Amino acid sequence: MHASRSGYTTNNMNILENVPLSGYSTMRLGGNAAYLSEINQKIEVTEAVAWAKERNLPIIMIGVGSNIVWKDEGFPGLILVNKIMGFEVFSEDEENIYITAGAGENWDSVVERAVATGKSGLEYLSLIPGTVGGAPVQNIGAYGHELAETFVSLEAYDMQTGGLVNIPAIECEFGYRTSRFKTTDRGRFLITSLTLHLIKQIQEPVYYHWLEDYLKTHQITHPSPTDIRRAVIEIRRSRLPDPTLVANVGSFFANPIVSSDKYQELVEQHPRLASWPSRCFWDLPDGSYKVAAGALLEYIGFKDFHDETTGMATWQNQALVLVNEHANSTADLLAFKKIIVDKVKQIFDMTLEQEPELLPIASL
């Protein structure tokens, strides 16, 4: 290993120094990382961890930063950008198919390949930005489905034991947009691959009106996984900004889960409020409702809302997406967020929770 002007070189890796993190979040804000390196093979994880340990530096592994907002103060440790590739179908019969994908693979290209097998399970999660490794961290979901439904296990480097481990679904503590990787064991596991199980099945009824409308318009009564993928891609393209063109991290707030009483109160005030009962989701408490946070924001005038002071806006077709038009800092973004959260609290007496992670958190 030797030091150079721009960083360090070890056996397999190049470690860059003082790197702007705005290039590693699709919101394009944030300070600098002291060190940053791409990880292309599993062996490099061990090497990177040893390098950081020698210098007593914290580590964060990331994908493409489509769910990260970096703090303005940056990160005084080593960022590992996961680029571990691989896609393998390792067991297939008439009814089932198991696939393993490298954590650095683009999520949607894995969905595309999975759907092409004709088996079901990932089609509703089409076109979600990010990597395979980022997906279990918040148990990605869309249109009433989530990763946990197909997830078998993942392989990760365990920072506590210093070796590779295999973690089955039952130990991942998946919930609505969460898992142990985002809560109790945040930062402990550096994910290297995922194994997923797809099955041959008749599609369940769709619960989302945009999807229902698409299928009706296209006269599709028995949609195949390919039909659902096509519908999801078309709907997402019409409603969400492409993060490679418009700086954003997708839905900025999670859809709130409310009690039946609170739900009744909300629909009395706003009869057309989009919401879903707990029976549509395996992980919601009985009798509760999931309320569309985007609809709440729309009701109070936050759709296509532009704030010149902070340089932030909400997206024209989906109020839940905050867009960085010309913000100078994450402080600007957080000031804009506060305007929205305060107004929702005042009008609906509800507290919106931020979905993308604000990193680094204090304990890292």
Ligand X SMILES: Cc1cc2nc3c(=O)[nH]c(=O)nc-3n(C[C@H](O)[C@H](O)[C@H](O)COP(=O)(O)OP(=O)(O)OC[C@H]3O[C@@H](n4cnc5c(N)ncnc54)[C@H](O)[C@@H]3O)c2cc1C
Stretch that binds ligand X, among 4-12, 69-77, 160-168, 188-196 (CB under 6 A): 188-196
Reported for 18-21, long-range contacts at CB under 8 A and 24+ positions apart, including other chains, are 19/79, 21/65, 21/70, 21/74, 21/75, 21/79
Site string for ligand X, 199-218 (x = CB under 6 A): --------------------
Is 223 among the residues that bind ligand X (CB under 6 A)?
no
Closer to ligand X by Cβ: residue 188 or 270: 188
Stretch that binds ligand X, among 5-13, 57-65, 287-295, 324-332 (CB under 6 A): 57-65
Please, which of residues 67-86 interact with ligand X by CB under 6 A?
A: 67-68, 82
Alpha-carbon gap, residue 172 to 283, rounded angstroms: 14
Is 167 among the residues that bind ligand X (CB under 6 A)?
no
Closer to ligand X by Cβ: residue 29 or 190: 190
Is 62 among the residues that bind ligand X (CB under 6 A)?
yes
Site string for ligand X, 231-270 (x = CB under 6 A): ---------x--x----xxx--------------------
Four-residue CA torsion sign, 131, 98, 176, 343: positive
Is 141 among the residues that bind ligand X (CB under 6 A)?
yes
- Eight-class DSSP state of 106: B
Four-residue CA torsion sign, 85, 106, 147, 91: negative
Answer yes or no: are the C-beta atoms of 108 and 115 closer than 8 Å: no
Answer yes or no: are the C-beta atoms of 70 and 31 closer than 8 Å: yes
Is 225 among the residues that bind ligand X (CB under 6 A)?
no
Alpha-carbon gap, residue 193 to 190, rounded angstroms: 10
Is 102 among the residues that bind ligand X (CB under 6 A)?
no
CA atoms within 13 A on the CB side of 60: 28
Q: Of 273, 290, 292, 294, whose CA–CA distance to 282 is shortest?
A: 290
Catalytic residue among 28, 153, 251, 357: 251
The catalytic residue positions are 177, 251, 355
Q: Which residues bind ligand X (CB under 6 A)?
A: 26, 60-68, 82, 103, 128-131, 133-135, 137-138, 140-142, 189-191, 240, 243, 248-250, 357
